[in-house]
Amino acid sequence: MSDPVVRIGFSACFMHADPERALFKGKTLLYMENSMARWAMRNRAIPVLLPLAADGFKPAELVDGIDGLLLQGGSDVCPRTYGEEPLKAEWGGDEIRDLYEIALVEACLEQDKPILGICRGCQVLNVSLGGTLYQDISTQVEKSLVHRDWDVYEDLHHELVFEPGAGLSDLYGGRETGRINSIHHQGIKDLAGCLRVEARSPEDGIIEAVVLDDSLSLDPKHKGRYVRGVQWHPEFIEKKDETLLDPDPLMKDFLSQVRGRRA
């Protein structure tokens, strides 16, 4: 018997209004990346793109019709969202998207709906729960790896090490290391107090995965919640590529939590 189908809300990627764009001139576009959608669908989940709350709708009403939330990758997080000014203009990020996604996170925590954050989504989770980010790893972390190379994009790979006892390690048979893709120049700096590190880049210590640990929080809406974020892009990894971590254990664990709450 196959798993029941669930509806996963995808936070939207934004293309803001551009009067010079040939298509949809001057209009704001919201979209999902197709590899992310297919990653969910092959595990019996229907992606539902969530718009900005407007026209009388509140974020709580938007998430009321979904079973879980997936925060997509994409644009930089704006430093102002975590109380800093951009060190360079090009690191200004997307403050509108930040506030939209943080509101979705808060609504899902209130409603006990599992949350999975991918790349930018992992960073948004940290910021929404009180943490901060490196605006640019190569500038702010001494002797850091190159974590983003536009020319090779998802073909840039590096090792990670799982923290001892990490639940994420258990999803991969208790292994201690793995290999992932890397497509980011921002990363977690100050970890939110209710999050626990699950994996790091061994060469420079950059956090690669986090999970909500309700024992670290006094907030009742964190009790028993499922919140996990990873800094890499599992949706870009082909299952046949045995050199990289299989993308599906992560999605299957997320969806098992979603289905368990629907039962």
Cα distance between residue 56 and residue 41, in whole Å: 31
Number of Cα atoms under 13 Å in the Cβ half of residue 99: 6
| DSSP-assigned letters across all residues of 164-182 | TT-HHHHHTTT-SEEEEE-
Active-site option among 147, 158, 185, 233: 233
Known catalytic residue at 194: no
Q: Which residues contact 43 (CB under 8 A, 6 or more apart)?
A: 3, 248, 251, 252, 255
Known catalytic residue at 235: yes
Host H or E run for residue 50: strand 45-50
Active-site option among 101, 163, 208, 235: 235
Closest CA relative to residue 233, chosen from 166, 181, 177, 158 = 181
Active-site option among 78, 108, 119, 194: 119
Cα distance between residue 150 and residue 33, in whole Å: 17
Known catalytic residue at 119: yes
Positions marked catalytic: 119, 233, 235
